[in-house]
Amino acid sequence: MWRCSSFLFSLVRPLNRRIHPQLALNRFEFAQHFFTTEILRTANEGVFSKRTSPFIAFVLGGPGSGKGTQCMMIADTFGFTHLSAGDLLRKEMVSDGENGVMIRNSIKEGKIVPSEITIRLIQKAIESSENYKFLIDGFPRSDENRIAFERIVGVEPDLVLFFECPEEEMMKRVLSRNQGRIDDNIETVKKRLQVFHTLNLPVVNYYSRKGKVHKINAVGTLDEIFEKVRPLFAAFSKDGPRN
């Protein structure tokens, strides 16, 4: 679906620009204009069947709060595509791309990679997907990230999940994760927690004021936490339409 819109967008973009800059459509506007009918025809998921743009849930929480773990369970159960911003950056980091070294240094220091880079990776993943429902895990990390996403991609999240977890628990989980991540060490975790408080939380507060945040107590077994998450996605099914 979105891959298709991207291809067609690339065909009409020069035309848009020649006509009038204000008439140029961004990619999602284009998808809305040209694919509304198809979504209406194929969708079969209650209130969301009338959607004309992708369904986007931002999944936020401190390091080790369980975002990735719960996203995998949501994706498996409800047919979402799970896009972890951190995973996309780690993949880019080991590719031959020009930003590899900068991304590695940022992750090692627990710093936030420039918005344009992360957004480009997320946007590419959305556009190349057949799906229309996405979990964006670990993004936006700052108000600057959030504003850039809204400006570049032109959509707001439909809901925001926030996993609330005590610091000692997050620290314990990260330090016993054992996946070979370069930021799973005590020095980097301390920095990441600081960034979480100063830059990530304002994003949660912003969406709270807009009534979009669903706060989940992230302490408990995986299944206990998933049972709190489940009702938020009840309108979706695993075998629901992907295009």
Ligand X SMILES: Nc1ncnc2c1ncn2[C@@H]1O[C@H](COP(=O)(O)OP(=O)(O)OP(=O)(O)O)[C@@H](O)[C@H]1O
Q: Least distance (Å) from ligand X to the CB of residue 35?
A: 32
Which residues define the annotated binding site for CMP?
Answer: 145
How many residues make up the chain in this entry? 243
Residue number of the CB closest to ligand LLZGTKA7 reads: 86
Only segment of 92-100, 105-113, 149-157, 220-228 that touches ligand X (CB under 6 A)? 220-228
- Residue placing its CB nearer to ligand X in the complex, 88 or 174: 174
3-state secondary structure of 228: helix
| Residues between 63 and 92 that touch ligand X (CB under 6 A) | 63-69, 86
- The 10 Å CB-count burial string (b at 16+, else e) for 17-33 is eeeeeeebbebbbbbbe
Residue number of the CB closest to Mg ion reads: 68
Q: Least distance (Å) from ligand LLZGTKA7 to the CB of residue 89?
A: 5
106 binds ligand LLZGTKA7 (CB under 6 A): yes
| Residues between 1 and 60 that touch ligand LLZGTKA7 (CB under 6 A) | none
- Region class of 46: left (phi > 0), else alpha (psi between -120 and 50), else beta: left
Only segment of 38-46, 78-86, 214-222, 235-243 that touches ligand LLZGTKA7 (CB under 6 A)? 78-86
Residues engaged in binding Mg ion (CB under 5 A): 68
